[in-house]
Amino acid sequence: MSQYHIDTNCIHAGYTPGDGEPRVVPIVQSTTYKYDHAETLGKLFDLEQDGFFYTRLANPTLDAVEKKIAALEGGVGALLTSSGQAASLISVLNICRAGGHVVCSSAIYGGTFNLFYKTMHEMGIDFTFVSPESTEEELNAAFQPNTRCVFAETLSNPALIVTDLELFAKVAHAHGVPLIVDNTFATPINCRPFEFGADIVIHSTTKYMDGHAVQVGGAIVDSGKFDWNNGKFPEFTEPDESYHGVVYCKQFGNAAYIAKARAHLMRDLGAQASPQNAFLLNLGLETLALRMERHCSNALKVASFLEQDDRIAWVNYPGLKSSKYYDLAQKYMPNGTCGVISFGIKGGREAAAKFMESLKLASIVVHVADLRTCVLHPASTTHRQLTDEQLVEGGISADMIRMSVGIENPEDILDDIKQALAQAAQQVTGKNLRIKVLEESSIGTLSTKANPVDEVIRRAGELNINVEIND
């Protein structure tokens, strides 16, 4: 399918029906597969022959979707997982064991950060978190003799920091280790990290690839370009006694990484995707190119509006020329970034809450990157396990609102935002008027329905005013 454009591959790659076969990728809802000869099954177990013998390792439905995702990213192979978290876990564990070390961008999804900082640290793997804006010298300083990979996101979730992929790849390769990139937000439609030096790409397929919020999944894609024979990765160059002494580099060549991830870790961890979820994912992939174009155009309209609105404290969207990441975004994602915007509303957390609660078309949900517009307050939800210091390092402020702009009519999205902003501003104005009364008197009595108690006390304290709060 390489001769076709990427939007055509979204539809056709991975599966070619034969004469009289289903036009659409079928759901093979079976755990087992029949063979007439024991010898054939033995060859499958020894990884000497392609085929299916147990769905935990491979399944025809999963296989078709894996081939499609590999084609979209330009890799030699892919592995579907049960979630994006599973993809992150397996991608690192495949090349880093206890006693190993990883250099990781600090601006990554909060769940991934906690996986690395807490759980994998407890497994004996250390992580050094670096700024995604690090210089070459700063990146080099983070490496240790036992470093086995570098991990970063194309577009960080939710800070929307654009990683300089070529710089990260250059430094990683100088130290003889691969660069793993989470490409969830950009998708291969807007960025193909392999073209900029990345070695492994992962996705939370729960997001844009699915696009309809109907399945949870992940994917790992192998570029086939990294040289595992450099002496740092004996797990690829020496026999795996747990799998009949297979030497992955010898038997699978440039597909050694993805073969080991499947045969070793998927076998042992069992974090496979289901055929039903793979089927649903494929339906989403078929329209991915169309949806990403609309997501990006809608998001740019919304970001441009917010940037000009006096009620907005700040806006971060790499597609805006005012963004500090605009030049990097143009380099790596010239056709658009994603549909996610982060911004703050004047009036702080209270105004932000009022804004989100006033939205009618958009919904408050713990999700991002599907076709419906939605919002979230990351600091109190998806990233609430992070400390204040970690939030700052990840580019997340207390007043940040993450808006995932959908593919609805842009005028309807903007109208919804405008009316919600008006209600949020009305609340802030009402509060300011009540505080003004406080300033004019030594003692004030306020209704907590109009003003939060803590805000009244804080403001009165600043003015050296005694305030009586009556419930």
Q: Indicate whether 23 and 105 sit together in one domain.
A: yes
Per residue of the chain (471 residues), what is the pLDDT tens digit?
Answer: 568 999 999 999 999 999 999 999 999 999 999 988 888 888 877 777 888 888 899 999 999 999 999 999 999 999 999 999 999 999 999 999 999 999 999 999 888 999 999 999 999 999 999 999 999 999 999 999 999 999 999 999 888 999 999 999 999 999 999 999 999 999 999 999 999 999 999 999 999 999 999 999 999 999 999 999 999 999 999 999 988 899 999 999 999 999 999 999 999 999 999 999 999 999 999 999 999 999 999 999 999 999 999 999 999 999 999 999 999 999 999 999 999 999 988 887 788 888 999 999 999 998 899 999 999 887 665 556 666 677 666 566 777 889 999 999 999 999 999 999 999 888 666 555 454 555 554 444 444 444 454 555 555 554 444 554 444
- Residues 271, 317 within the same domain: no
| Residue 383 pLDDT | 55
Query: Is the domain of 139 the same as that of 217?
Result: yes
The per-residue pLDDT for 175 is: 98
**Are 163 and 305 members of one domain?**
no
Residue 151 C-alpha from the chain's centroid: 12
**182 phi-psi bin (left φ>0, alpha ψ -120 to 50, beta other):** beta
Q: Is 462 within a domain? A: no
Residues 260 and 295 in one domain: no
Residue 459 confidence (pLDDT) = 54
- What's the confidence (pLDDT) of residue 353? 84
Does residue 464 belong to any structural domain of this protein? no
Query: Which position has the token pair 């803590």?
Result: 454
CATH number at residue 69: 3.40.640.10
357-362 — which CB contacts under 8 Å span 24+ positions? 358/419, 358/420, 358/423, 358/424, 359/416, 359/417, 359/420, 360/416, 360/419, 360/420, 361/408, 361/412, 361/413, 361/415, 361/416, 362/403, 362/406, 362/413, 362/416, 362/417
Q: Do residue 339 and residue 276 come from a single domain?
A: no
Residues 88 and 212 in one domain: yes
Q: How many structural domains are present in the chain?
A: 2
Claim to verify: residue 274 and residue 309 sit in the same structural domain: no
Residue 445 lies in a domain: no
Question: Are residues 122 and 187 located together in one domain of the fold?
Answer: yes
What is the domain range of residue 227?
Answer: 6-286
CATH classification at residue 358: 3.90.1150.10
Q: Measured between alpha carbons, how far is 107 from 111 in angstroms, rounded to an integer? A: 11
Neighbouring residues of 45: CB distance < 8 A, sequence distance ≥ 6: 53, 244
Model pTM? Answer: 0.88
For residues 232 and 306, state if they share a domain.
Answer: no
Same domain for 175 and 272, yes or no, is yes
